[in-house]
A and B are shown apart, each in its own frame.
Chain A
């Protein structure tokens, strides 16, 4: 078992087989630096719980393919990314810090899929962004590819 500590001082025990999906922790274990608690100053307990949930489910990815549990894992992934933007970004930052490649892929793809067909207005509202372009800059962008702003798939709703 490996002990992880979040930045709000909560400790979590995780199986080594699960935690080595993090390249960062795997390297620490290999270098013999994981004998006591590993402090994670960038990750809060709420986010760490999510990450550990993912790691535990994804132990031995190869085995899942052999035993036909791939669909189960896919369903879990779909459910897993069903969270708000703020939470999703926290998990992305944690996955990046811990260097968990598959989790990073999953969450970044989910963020991209949510944005894909959105209108500019919807993106700004969803991500709470205030426009900082001048009118000239805006005009230049529209003139460059007016077709990118048209099409039946463009979705102006915020959700």
Chain B
């Protein structure tokens, strides 16, 4: 798969990277971890626009998902941390507590699913957030429950829509709870 990226890079006689076709620069940069990429936006204007482009992001995701044969980019996630449940006995794993931004606010969050490294969180106020732990960024999602009774019990689902290339959340209302 080759991404349709066309970025102009200034070429000077001593500028190695200027001699590389932009497609080849994409091939190299897409093999870097996210932290390096965020830093390398600072290298050159064209690097910044290349790294920020949705085509590049998608290509980067496809490479890290497909080339990662030892599954080091994959994690098992527990929804709720409990001292009696842990993965420390499991020899191949490293356990980390995910550090989400509302952690210290006293509002507890429950993760409602994850796809492609994105995690959907719901807090006690029933606000929905999309969280990218690698970029350390949140996006608050629109609240689709406004038409519902406040006490309705809602269960959420989160997934990737391959046809529309978009992420979808889904709420299921527990009718028994809403009637009572």
B85 at the A/B interface (Cβ < 8 Å)? no
Give the segment of A22-30, A57-65, A71-79, A105-113 that binds chain B.
A105-113
- The answer to whether B48 and A133 have CB atoms under 8 Å apart is yes
Cβ of B46 to closest chain A Cβ, rounded Å: 8
Closest partner residue, chain A, to B36 (CB atom): A116
Using C-beta atoms within 8 Å of the partner chain, give the interface range for chain A. 35 or more
Interface positions, chain B 36-68, Cβ under 8 Å from A, are 36, 38-45, 48
- The answer to whether A127 and B42 have CB atoms under 8 Å apart is no
Bound together, the chains give a CA A92 to CA B32 distance in angstroms of 17
Bound together, the chains give a CA A19 to CA B58 distance in angstroms of 33
Which residues of A sit under 8 angstroms from B44, Cβ to Cβ? 124, 129, 131-133
Known: A116-B36, A123-B40, A148-B39. A85 touches B45 (CB 8 A): no
Bound together, the chains give a CA A86 to CA B27 distance in angstroms of 16
- The answer to whether A108 and B27 have CB atoms under 8 Å apart is yes
Cβ of B52 to closest chain A Cβ, rounded Å: 10
- The answer to whether A86 and B40 have CB atoms under 8 Å apart is no
Which residues of A sit under 8 angstroms from B20, Cβ to Cβ? 89, 92-93
B123 at the A/B interface (Cβ < 8 Å)? no
Give the segment of A1-9, A10-18, A45-53, A135-143 that binds chain B.
A135-143
- The answer to whether B38 and A92 have CB atoms under 8 Å apart is no
- The answer to whether B31 and A109 have CB atoms under 8 Å apart is yes
Which residues of A sit under 8 angstroms from B10, Cβ to Cβ? 132
- The answer to whether B31 and A138 have CB atoms under 8 Å apart is no
Residues of B within 8 A of A (CB): 10, 12, 14-17, 19-21, 23-24, 27-29, 31-33, 35-36, 38-45, 48, 135-136
Which 10 pairs, one residue from A and one from B, show the smallest C-beta to C-beta distance? Answer: A112-B31, A148-B38, A145-B38, A148-B39, A111-B28, A120-B42, A108-B27, A127-B17, A141-B41, A128-B14
Q: List 16 A-B contacts (CB under 8 A).
A: A89-B17, A89-B20, A93-B21, A112-B29, A118-B36, A128-B16, A128-B17, A130-B12, A137-B48, A138-B42, A141-B38, A141-B48, A145-B39, A145-B136, A148-B36, A149-B42
